[in-house]
């Protein structure tokens, strides 16, 4: 998918919501465990009910890998289901991969060619040659870790170099590896104080912002600086939407949570016009 198509979908739906399918076998409603593929059954129900309110689904690969080969089957079934039924939805493999060139090439092959995700998150710590194999795929997006939402971001990303923070130096290094058509950045919604500075460097790139919801980030606060002329933001929420209820109507409850966030986004977008 081209990013221009994502922007159209955001405008059509008045939503820049990404729902994180961090599907944990220990957290889904118990009655689903009798299904042949409980993870896929859960995802399918969530997707069927929430898709009108979001423009993106993000699959956290760790949750699928932890179930071994059956988890990979569930992940593949989920991405195939989205691609077939909701082709305008932007899909993200939240895999945080990155390795030397010949290995990154394999990861890019996995997520872009074999699984057919629109995008994959990448840990850029190993530098340009670890990212470039991903950028060679047409109409696919590489989402680099900019500044992550967790407390550990202090340990390395928020150390100061001679010029600036490590994460700022990372963004400066990387901004010319690709362009705003094939690269985005992850910027944690829990650290709004850095967004203005990040936007100064990369005014046009999309930002994928996790951390609203269970992690405590505030939607209005992050949007103040993050939104640009093309919206330029995807806000991810995972646990607070998908685990809203353990009852039979869990997917309806998830949709209610999604609608709440989409309603707030609609107001924000109307103020931008």
Q: Which residues are catalytic?
A: 96
Binding map of its own copies across residues 146-175, x = CB under 8 A, - = no contact: --xxxxxxxxxx-xxxx---x--xx--xx-
Part in contact with its own copies (CB under 8 A); list of ranges 10-18, 72-80, 81-89, 198-206: 72-80
- The 3-state DSSP class for residue 112 equals helix
* DSSP secondary structure letter of residue 232: -
In the complex, minimum distance from the CB of residue 122 to its own copies, in angstroms, rounded to a whole number: 10
Residue 60 CA to residue 19 CA, distance in Å, equals: 11
Told to check if 136 binds its own copies by CB under 8 A, we report no
Is the CB of 40 or the CB of 53 nearer to its own copies? 40
Is the CB of 24 or the CB of 48 nearer to its own copies? 24
- How many CA atoms does the CB half-sphere of 154 hold within 13 Å? 4
Q: Which of positions 83-122 make contact with its own copies (CB under 8 A)?
A: 94, 96-104, 106-107, 109-110, 114-115
Q: Please list, in sequence order, all residues whose beta carbon lies within 8 angstroms of the beta carbon of residue 171, skipping any fewer than 6 positions away.
A: 146, 185, 198, 201, 202
Do 206 and 232 form a contact (C-beta atoms < 8 A)? yes
Q: Please list, in sequence order, all residues whose beta carbon lies within 8 angstroms of the beta carbon of residue 86, skipping any fewer than 6 positions away.
A: 47, 51
Told to check if 129 binds its own copies by CB under 8 A, we report yes
Part in contact with its own copies (CB under 8 A); list of ranges 59-67, 79-87, 134-142, 247-255: 59-67
Told to check if 193 binds its own copies by CB under 8 A, we report no
Of the residues 51, 78, 130, 262, which one makes contact with its own copies according to CB under 8 A? 130
Residue 138 CA to residue 34 CA, distance in Å, equals: 41
State how far the alpha carbon of 55 is from the alpha carbons of 26, 163, 167, in Å: 27, 37, 28
Taking Cα atoms as reference points, which of 39, 134, 56 lies closest to residue 91?
Answer: 56
Residue 203: other Cβ atoms inside 10 A: 11
In the complex, minimum distance from the CB of residue 49 to its own copies, in angstroms, rounded to a whole number: 24
Residues that bind its own copies (CB under 8 A): 22, 24, 60, 62-63, 65-66, 68-69, 72-73, 76, 94, 96-104, 106-107, 109-110, 114-115, 123-131, 145, 148-157, 159-162, 166, 169-170, 173-174
């Amino acid at each position: 998918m081209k990013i221009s198509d994502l922007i159209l979908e955001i405008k059509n739906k008045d939503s820049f919501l990404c729902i994180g399918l961090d599907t944990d076998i220990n957290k889904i409603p118990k009655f689903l465990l009798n299904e042949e593929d409980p993870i896929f059954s859960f995802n399918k129900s969530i997707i069927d009910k929430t898709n009108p309110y979001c423009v993106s689904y993000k699959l956290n690969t760790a949750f699928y890998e932890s179930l071994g080969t059956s988890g990979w089957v569930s992940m593949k079934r989920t991405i195939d289901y989205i691609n077939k039924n909701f082709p305008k939805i932007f899909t993200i493999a939240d895999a945080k991969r990155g390795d030397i060139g010949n290995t990154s090439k394999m990861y890019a092959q996995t997520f872009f060619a074999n699984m057919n995700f629109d995008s994959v998150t990448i840990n850029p710590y190993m530098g340009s040659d670890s990212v470039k194999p991903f950028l060679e795929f047409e109409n696919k997006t590489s989402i680099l870790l900019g500044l992550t939402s967790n407390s550990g971001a202090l340990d390395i990303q928020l150390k100061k170099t001679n010029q600036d923070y490590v994460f700022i130096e990372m963004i400066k290094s990387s901004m010319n590896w690709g362009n705003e058509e094939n690269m985005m950045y992850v910027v944690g919604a829990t650290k709004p104080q850095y967004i203005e500075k990040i936007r100064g460097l990369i005014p046009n790139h999309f930002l994928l912002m996790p951390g609203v919801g269970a992690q405590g980030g505030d939607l209005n606060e992050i949007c103040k600086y993050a939104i640009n002329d093309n919206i330029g933001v995807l806000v991810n929420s995972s646990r607070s939407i998908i685990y809203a209820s353990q009852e039979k109507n869990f997917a309806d409850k998830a949709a209610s949570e999604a609608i709440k966030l989409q309603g707030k986004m609609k107001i924000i977008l109307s103020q931008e016009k």
